[in-house]
Structure 1
Amino acid sequence: MSQDTEVDMKEVELNEMEPEKQPMTGSPSSPASGTLGEKNGMVKVKVPEEDGETDAGTKFTGLSKEELLQVAGTPAWVRTRWALLILFWLGWLGMLAGAIVIIVQAPRCKELPPQEWWHKGGIYRIQALEAFQDSNADGVGDLAGVQQHIDYLSSLKVKGLVIGPIHVNVPDNLAHTDLQRVDPQFGTKETFAKLLEDAKKKSLKVILDLTPNYRGQMPWFSLETAHNSDFQSKMKAALEFWLELGVAGIQMEGVEQLNDSQLLVEWKNLTSQYSSDGNARVLIAGKASRIPRIFSTERDQC
């Protein structure tokens, strides 16, 4: 009697335990007939071993080589393969034709303009020549001073120099302005010719600033100067003079006072007459408040 009471008390204690602490139980079925079993609170799953006796109707073994060749040789499959092959090549040829049409109809790129020497490097400008280099200790920079620094200028890897103006100019006085004579304080024509020779040895081009009234208030003396036949003849003669001496180009500033673009076209055409292969000349015309424009001697860039 006491033994039964002890067993009942154990069952009560087990039932009153928290669910988390109660041991897991498996299926009440026997191990021989079920798949779940209990041992020490653990659940085991029993997977039946394959006995090799599978239903033949659910087992797929695929087609043998002989069967595949037999099916592939049927007329339906042969026609299908040929149809796919033809569609592939038609699609490929269609894409090729489309690409050719796109290339042919695409807009053509404009040819790049020929590169002249002034396009291939910088240009060093010596505008205030009197402040550059004094060669004779008179307090005024001169052409001989530029000649002394020609090696240094060449080391800067520039393509050319802009020098001047250097001609004789009485401010706002057309009659006493000599566009073909070098101001004595800067040197002489011979000094300038020697500078051109030395610069050529260093592959440096020299552009001469020929702004007429560079010391006066009006770059072109007055608004009527451009229509003055005497002035026009002086400018034409000066252009020919310096180009024949060997300058690579002419620069002029303050052209807004000209009020006549035809003069620039004529001067450009005159400059182009002195161009040759590998020795193109350039005409640079600039306004006082704007960057100078370059007029090529080989083509119109106005």
Structure 2
Amino acid sequence: MEQTEETGSKPGRMPLNAGDTGYGSVPGSVLSSSVAASESSPLLIPEEEPEPEVVYRWKPLSREQLEAAAGGPGWRKVRCYLVLLFWLAWLAMLATSIAIVVMSPRPVVTPLQWWQKTLFYQLQPDTEGPGGVSALCEQLPYLRSLGIGALILAGLSDKEASPSNVTVTGERLKTVAEIQHLLTESNRADLKVVLDFCELDVAGSQRLNLSATYTLRFWLEQGVAGFAICDTDAAYSEKTLVEWRGVFKEFSSQEEERILVVKQTQDVLPPLNNVTLVDMVMRSILPSSNHLLSANEVADAIETHLQTREDIIWPSWTVGGKASPDLKKLLLVLMMTLPGSPAVQYDEDLDQTQNVSLKVGSSNGEAIESDADREKTKHLAVALFTSLSRSRAREEALLYGSFTFLPFNSSTNSSSSFNSTLASPSSPPILAFLRSWGCVHFLILLNVGPEPHGLDPAWAPSLPEAGVFFTSTGMDRLGSMTLDKLELRPHEAIVIKLFKAGSYS
């Protein structure tokens, strides 16, 4: 008991358990934990390491994922907008195209009858030739392949034209039966036949005791497509033609209308009060003459027809007069490119029966060369004829395009119109005309003279300068060309299809 009081009363001593009871307001346990933490913590605080980057790889969607995504509302809106945008753009382009077509000028197409689109071929069957009419019948498919659409059968006599004459009393006369056979074969070959009654007394011959209408009915029943008369015949009168027109209506249809062709033999065609009685007027480009016309005479005749054209009755062009053989191809190109229906006269170069037999074993070299040149000439003639006939059939500008005569300064023949280094003052001028249909233009150039000609660039400044060769008399002009560098050869005709720079119309 005493010992206890003595110990508790000693001053200046700290109790041993002070750490347990705490000193002040800091507990002992907290102090000890903080000291331990400070001793274990690092002196430098390390920086935080960056998080690793996640690499995303594109993987194709599976079929189920694609179907789920495509069927979502977002994709449905996108598809609707795209479809709407497509149709709006399509309608806008359609409306623009219609507006361009409606507002752009368009040529007016005039419906043409069969004779206005047909190439006529005048011939006269020769009974003295090999085979006679039978040989001609064998050539009908060949003539049709050349582009010929109708034959004008000339050389008939009063006896042959009369249906009462079924027998023949002369070696040079063709029988009615032969003509009937020719008509049958022509219909099989899709060739129409026009009988030439020019200078025949079919209007009312008392010798035959037959009326003209009876004669017409007989041949129309055989399949004749029409008849041709001269402007000097007695049948060329309004009274007779009205009677003939009534007969034509009985045998005509919308597809196969019977026609009447009038051959103009005079400078001026005698007028008729009713021009509808005549379907076509056949005019000669060259005047009739007993001698070969010179180059200047041919050029004057062509220029006269090009400057004075009558469109009252549908024209049909034939050569008519006599010209140099060098101008044969030029006149063919002219007929095929003029407005109207060309009527080509019989050409032995187009006759299959006029084949040249080459003398291969002959010792005469000149004869072999002559035969070879002749065969080459025939091939070129057939190629030119076929090219012109097919071009006229498929080209609208050559079939029913507008016509524009392009005159040169032919009065002075100066260097302003021609190249003076190529043409002499006595040489005939170049003749030219234009056939146009819409934006398509065909330029036809004719050099009738025996000397070459060059074109002056200032001759026709409104024409396009560039073009392509369509055909020529020599069949050797090919490819593109420019008018300023063109030179026409002697007796050459050229057909050029013009186009503007950057255009291929």
- TM-score bucket (shorter structure): 0.3 to 0.5
